[in-house]
Amino acid sequence: MLPVDLPDTVRDALLAPLVDHHCHGVRRDDLARAQFELLISGGGSPAPPGTTHFDTPFGASLRRWCAPLLDLEPHTPPAVYLARRAELGAAEVNRRLLAGAGVVAFLVDTAPSDTASPNTAPSNNVPSNNVPSNTAPSDAADEPALLSAAEMGRHGGAAADELVRIEQIERDVAASAQLAVDYLDDLGEELTVRAARAVGLKTVMARLCGLDLEPTRPSRGSVIAAANRRLDEPGEPPTDPILLRHLLWCAIDVARERGLPLQFHSGFGGAGAGRADPAGLSELIKTLQPIGVPVILLHCYPYHRQAAHLAGLYPNVYVDVGLAVPHTAGASAVVVDELLTLAPFHKQLFSSGCQGVAEAAYLGALSYRRALGTALAARLGAGEWSATDAARVAHMIGAGNARRIYRL
């Protein structure tokens, strides 16, 4: 699996258990092909007629590397793979893949997946014929479609902690509050309560309004006006930039009080594309620097070089390439190398960004190990790094940095 010419210490460091510092729960139920295809796509829409989402780097990688864990030959056809997956059942498949990832701790964004897909974001309450219905509010479902954080840990033989998706808190509050003042009070309280049992906060603002937002706290008057508008359509994800800025600053207050990092989804999967460039966060990052809240940039591709640049410029910025690793699959070595090219080693993190299917958790960890192994082998081969440094950096990125930042 790893490059053959690595010293043993480096190999051991690469194979050491990882902290997956950002993932989502995977589906607990058996999936029809149409459902499975949606979950392995980047955008959450069906492939055009006559095509399949298996014809993607992720699909090819899945057939290559996950098939053997299901007792199949590498490069097995999609239909065979899915038949075997159904035969084993979702629970067994999840166990094999999550345990196979070699992860020691999962940090899990436990929001239901409805706000996760760029194509379904603005109108997630309108059921689509093609999209599997996992969009029910979490408090309404008897058995949620996704594994909880604790279940992710149990299936994967790992510890598990929670990340609070702040936009989900907002939706819960918007659904129950009657008056704008209640909404505002509840938001702060609920964030505080939820943060008390979490290791970090997370925002998907990149998808809802872009990252290039005004980096200041909005006025109370403008927030109350926005909250009144908001209470008219509480079931939708929030999209008002004023309300989102208010939410963000509430989260910053809580993060500062509790010493929690704040994760920003950026790049990959962000619907507004260009507006998901983390460079748009520069002014906010500078504002947060004296406040001491770590900003963690997730996924970042295709803006990961900008993210690596930010991580070098600002002491409070951390970075991963998350879900871009399993999605760039066999070519993720380039992506991981580009992060290692500029970002300080103490600022880089591993995550799978896994969502919906356990294949992403397994492929995230596998591709990351292969990619970092390739990048380190190149540096060792050129005489640029010592083996001691290479092993140390592998430990830092794979687990050490996450332990320090999240105080695990």
**Residues 220 to 279: which contact its own copies by CB under 8 A?**
267-269, 271-275, 277, 279
Q: Are 62 and 81 in contact (CB under 8 A)?
A: yes
Kindly state the smallest distance separating residue 215's Cβ from its own copies, in Å.
Answer: 12
214 binds its own copies per the rule CB under 8 A: no
Q: Which residues make beta-bridge pairs with 263? A: 202, 296
Pick between residue 141 and residue 334 the one whose CB is nearest to its own copies: 334
CA separation for the pair 249, 383 (Å, rounded): 46
Considering only 306, 351, 352, 355, the residue that binds its own copies (CB under 8 A) is 306
Residues 6+ apart with CB under 8 A from 337: 371, 374, 375, 378
Tokens linked to 253: 């207050």
Residues 6+ apart with CB under 8 A from 190: 169, 172, 173
Write phi, then psi, for 348 (nearest 5 degrees): -100, 145
Q: Are 236 and 166 in contact (CB under 8 A)?
A: no
Considering only 135, 203, 263, 282, the residue that binds its own copies (CB under 8 A) is 282
Pick between residue 45 and residue 192 the one whose CB is nearest to its own copies: 45
Query: Pairing state of beta strands 103-109 and 159-165?
Result: parallel
Residues 344-383 that bind its own copies (CB under 8 A): 344-346, 378-379, 382-383
Give the CA-trace dihedral at 368, 340, 24, 185, to 10 degrees. 170
Considering only 28, 33, 64, 154, the residue that binds its own copies (CB under 8 A) is 64
175 binds its own copies per the rule CB under 8 A: no
The one-letter code for the residue type at 173 is V
Pick between residue 76 and residue 135 the one whose CB is nearest to its own copies: 76
Considering only 6, 11, 20, 56, the residue that binds its own copies (CB under 8 A) is 56
Kindly state the smallest distance separating residue 303's Cβ from its own copies, in Å.
Answer: 8
Kindly state the smallest distance separating residue 300's Cβ from its own copies, in Å.
Answer: 11
Pick between residue 94 and residue 348 the one whose CB is nearest to its own copies: 348
* 3-class secondary-structure state, position 356: strand
CA separation for the pair 262, 385 (Å, rounded): 32
Pick between residue 291 and residue 334 the one whose CB is nearest to its own copies: 334
Strands lying side by side in the sheet with 103-109? 18-24, 103-109, 159-165, 198-203, 262-266, 295-299, 317-319
Q: Are 408 and 19 in contact (CB under 8 A)?
A: yes
Applying CB under 8 A, the site for its own copies has a residue count of 77
Pick between residue 62 and residue 174 the one whose CB is nearest to its own copies: 62
Neighbours of 22 (CB within 10 A): 28
Pick between residue 110 and residue 306 the one whose CB is nearest to its own copies: 306
Considering only 224, 389, 403, 408, the residue that binds its own copies (CB under 8 A) is 389
Element (H, E) at 248: helix 241-258
Considering only 33, 69, 239, 385, the residue that binds its own copies (CB under 8 A) is 385
Pick between residue 220 and residue 286 the one whose CB is nearest to its own copies: 286
Residues 111-130 as x/- pattern, contact with its own copies by CB under 8 A? -------xx-----------
Pick between residue 41 and residue 168 the one whose CB is nearest to its own copies: 41
Considering only 16, 60, 91, 231, the residue that binds its own copies (CB under 8 A) is 60
CA separation for the pair 132, 114 (Å, rounded): 10
Pick between residue 95 and residue 256 the one whose CB is nearest to its own copies: 256
Concatenating the DSSP letter of every residue in 269-304 gives T-TTGGGG-GGGGHHHHHHHHHHTPPEEEEE-TTSH
Residues 311-330 that bind its own copies (CB under 8 A): 312-316, 324, 327-330
Of the ranges 52-60, 90-98, 187-195, 235-243, which one interacts with its own copies (CB under 8 A)? 52-60
Considering only 5, 71, 189, 283, the residue that binds its own copies (CB under 8 A) is 283
